[in-house]
Amino acid sequence: MSEESARGFQCINCKKWVPVNKQMGTLNRNHCPSCLWSRHVDLTRAGDRLSSCETGMKPIAITFKSVGVDKYGSEQIGEVMIVHICPKCQKVSINRIASDDNSSEIFKIFGDSLSIDKNTKFKLKTMGITIAEEKDREELRNQILGKKI
C-alpha cells in the first residue's frame, strides 16, 4: 500500500479525495464526506475490507445507533448513522458519520428517505435498521448542528 492510499482514497461517486484520519474518527472510513457515497469494501464487519464487490454504495437513509434503554424503559438515541445500499449486490450497511461530513447532504438524505418505498423500509426493518422519521428531525438537527439556545 502506498503512503498516499494509506491516508485516503478517491470517492467512487464524486471523485473527490477523501482523507482518512484517526483524529477525526475516520480510521475505517469508506464514505465520502462530500457526497456521502460509500464503497462496498467490508464483507462482514466494519473495517474488515474483505468484500470483492467494491461497487459504490448509495446513501439512502439516516438512522440512529441503538444504545438500549434507560432505567425508566425509554429507548436511548445514539449517534447518527448513514444507511447505504449496494446497487450491484443489494448489501446494506450502516456507517457512523464523521466530523467533516457534509451536514447539508445528511439533511438531504434524511428528507429523501421520508418517502422511501415500503419494500425497502420493510427490508431495513427486518435487518434491525429503523430509519429516521419526521419525528426525529429535531434530534437529527441537534446532533448535527447543536441544540438551539
**pLDDT in tens for each of the 149 residues of the chain?**
444 456 788 999 999 998 887 766 656 778 999 999 998 877 677 766 766 777 889 999 999 998 777 788 877 788 999 999 999 988 898 988 988 899 999 999 999 999 999 999 999 999 999 999 999 999 999 999 987 76
Q: Enumerate residues 6+ apart whose C-beta is below 8 A from 14.
A: 32, 34, 35, 37
- DSSP summary character for residue 48: -
Helix (H) or strand (E) holding 64: strand 56-69
44-to-36, 40, 51, 148 alpha-carbon distances in Å: 21, 11, 8, 39
